[in-house]
Amino acid sequence: MATVQEARERRAGENQSMFRDVNERVRAGKNGRTTWVGTSQWMCECADEECTERILMSLDEYERVRGDATHFAVAPDMTHVVPDAERIVEKHDRFWVVEKVREAAEVAEDRDVR
């Protein structure tokens, strides 16, 4: 039986993967139609399932974050970080990158569509 900590980590991984799936559909929808120049709005990929914040990233920045299934782009504020399930690996003015750990990392890797 999973511990409370493991259940929380799993839920964080599932929630963040859901937002990442939305961003993947946005990227796919723009693919081939336009040339991406500069930054675009992306959904914050934090664990809060009610989060509606948008972050600005270039396509190259998004692709760099997506290069690792355990990495997610979140709004640059500690309220978007779940210290029990992730750690901050990059801080930028417009977004932070968090890395899922333990159970949450396993969920993120399992749910990665790439």
Extents of the domains making up the chain: 4-111
Ranges of the chain whose pLDDT falls below 70: 1-2, 4-10, 12-19, 22, 25, 27-37, 113-114
Backbone angles phi, psi at 77, to 5 degrees: -160, 140
d(CA 114, CA 109): 10
Question: How many of the other CB atoms lie within 10 Å of CB of 39?
Answer: 15
Residue 71: predicted pLDDT: 93
